[in-house]
């Protein structure tokens, strides 16, 4: 089904997806420490410092969720690429605009379907 995208463009987008997957995996690995459990020993950490640490932990965990969701989307896009469905909207099955794929190679929906979903 990917006949709308020429082989060179598909190859370029595939390389972009693989590079993005690597970057996201590395970012997740780096964020492990900041999202880990906060020590609640008041004898070692004051109440304000502990509150700050909990807030930073919550923000780090939220950031990790976003990274993981995007990594999942990249893996799904790579799977669609292997199956020959990459570049087509998963909802309406129309071609996704090349400009959208170049900006967000993991995009699974065309602009119209993504807008309707949001």
Q: What is the mean pLDDT of each run of 10 residues along the chain (118 residues)?
A: 78 97 93 60 60 81 93 98 95 96 96 95
Quote the pTM value: 0.78
Specify the pLDDT at position 44: 57
Q: What is the pLDDT of residue 55?
A: 84
Question: Is 67 in contact with 73 (CB distance < 8 Å)?
Answer: no
What pLDDT shows up at residue 54?
77
- Report the pLDDT value the prediction gives residue 53, as an integer from 0 to 100: 75
């Amino acid at each position: 089904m990917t006949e709308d995208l020429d082989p060179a463009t598909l190859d370029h987008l595939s390389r972009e997806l693989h590079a993005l997957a690597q970057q996201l995996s590395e970012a997740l690995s780096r964020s492990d420490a900041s999202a880990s459990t906060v020590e609640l020993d008041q004898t070692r950490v004051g109440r304000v410092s502990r509150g700050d640490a909990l807030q930073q932990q919550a923000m780090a965990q939220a950031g990790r969720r976003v990274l993981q969701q995007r990594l999942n989307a990249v893996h799904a896009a790579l799977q669609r690429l292997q199956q020959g469905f990459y570049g087509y909207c998963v909802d309406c099955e129309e071609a996704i605009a090349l400009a959208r794929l170049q900006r967000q190679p993991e995009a699974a929906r065309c602009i119209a379907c993504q807008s309707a979903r949001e």
